[in-house]
Amino acid sequence: MKRARWYDLGPAGELKHPALRQVICDGVKIALSYRKGIFAAVSGECNHVKGPIGKGRLKGDYAVCPWHGWMFHRKTGRGQPGYEKACLPRHEVKLKGARVFVNLAAENRREHEIHPPHPLARPIPARRAPGPIRVAGISTTAMEKANPRYSTSEDLLNTALRHASSLGAQTRLIKLNNLRFNSCGGFYSKDEHACTWPCTFTQMDPKDQLDKVYEALVFWADVVLVATPVRWGNPSALYLKMAERLNCIENQLLLEGRALIKNKTAAFIITGGQDNVQAVSGNMMTFFSSLGFCFPRFPFIATSRGWFAEDMERNNEFVKHNARLHKEARELARRSIESARAFLKR
């Protein structure tokens, strides 16, 4: 049994509020709680990614981690129902006079819930396996699923993917509209270490389907073609929803010095009835360059009929039957594949 290391936390009256607090005693992080007349203490580091348990809140007798919502019993340290195998180190607390003391020598060891690592947590191969160029197309058009409609940006994307296939590439189409995925939880806004790879939603929510995008961008694709309509001068809402969730890729460079994206090419297809093409393309290029992507010559194609083109049915027909636009989509695919092949020859 470890020798007791009692530490004087201070007057009991001053430690009752807030009901949960984080204290650091001789370098030991403690989550101290007070409820129904009883003080209790467990480790102040969450089992997940060392979130500060004591900076969270109490939900009944469970301390809730402020980063990702993991819960541990404030007295026993055990995980919430269904996760009882996980356990935080417990620290004995005693009152001496009107002062609170905590034993910095924990009563037990930290225990983790046993589960296999997430498939996306695997190492990135040092060398790409031999094989044809792989092109992933991401359509960010939003539409009513029960009544699908024609999409100008997705039509041009499909033209590009068909041409890529004719050039010998493997292709994959991802329609964000068909995926169920959470909006960003703003974990990075709490702490840079709270933004994890893979994203915490991907780890904890088996119904979150953005893993398909992560898998394509980080492991599968050599080329990523992203197609978006212009919506009020910006990329589509689905694109922006995806982009916020991709912060976990960029953040690995900051936290681990690890670039998840290397020697990959990105290019863009932008369509809109009204104009703002340069701003949308600049937004997308800046973001994808921050992820680690490179670009071919002339990395985007776009079309816009101008500010007064509110007659969307004519806009649809304009794109659908415009031979030059579809030729440009094929050329974009060709340039992107050539860029990818140049990287693979290095």
What CATH number does residue 151 fall under?
A: 3.40.50.360
pLDDT for res 310: 72
The last residue of a domain, from among 73, 103, 133: 103
For the whole model, what pTM was predicted?
Answer: 0.91
Tell me if 149 sits within 8 A of 312, measured CB to CB: no
Tell me, yes or no, whether 239 and 140 share the same domain.
yes
Span 129-135, mean pLDDT? 95
Work out the pLDDT band at 304, boundaries 50, 70, 90: confident
pLDDT for res 345: 85
Tell me, yes or no, whether 323 and 250 share the same domain.
yes
Tell the residue number behind the tokens 């690995």, with chain if given: 252
Tell me, yes or no, whether 222 and 315 share the same domain.
yes
Is 109 inside a domain boundary?
A: no
Determine the Cα–Cα distance for residues 199 and 211; give it in Å rounded to an integer: 9
Q: Give the DSSP letter string of 65-104.
A: PTTT--EEETTT-BBSTT-TT-BPPEE-EEEETTEEEEES
Domain with 94 in it: 6-103
Work out how many domains the chain is built from and give that number: 2
The last residue of a domain, from among 69, 103, 137: 103
pLDDT for res 68: 96
Q: What is the pLDDT of residues 201-238, one digit of tens each?
A: 999 899 999 999 999 999 999 999 999 999 888 999 99
Tell me, yes or no, whether 71 and 13 share the same domain.
yes
**Please, which residues have CB within 8 angstroms of residue 313's CB and are 6 or more apart in sequence?**
none
The last residue of a domain, from among 53, 76, 103: 103
Percentage of the chain beyond pLDDT 90 is 88
Tell me, yes or no, whether 230 and 334 share the same domain.
yes
Tell me, yes or no, whether 61 and 199 share the same domain.
no
Judged by phi (left if over 0) then psi (alpha if -120 to 50, else beta), residue 287 lies in alpha
Tell me, yes or no, whether 268 and 186 share the same domain.
yes
Tell me, yes or no, whether 129 and 39 share the same domain.
no
Q: Does the pLDDT at position 43 exceed 60?
A: yes
Is 127 inside a domain boundary?
A: yes
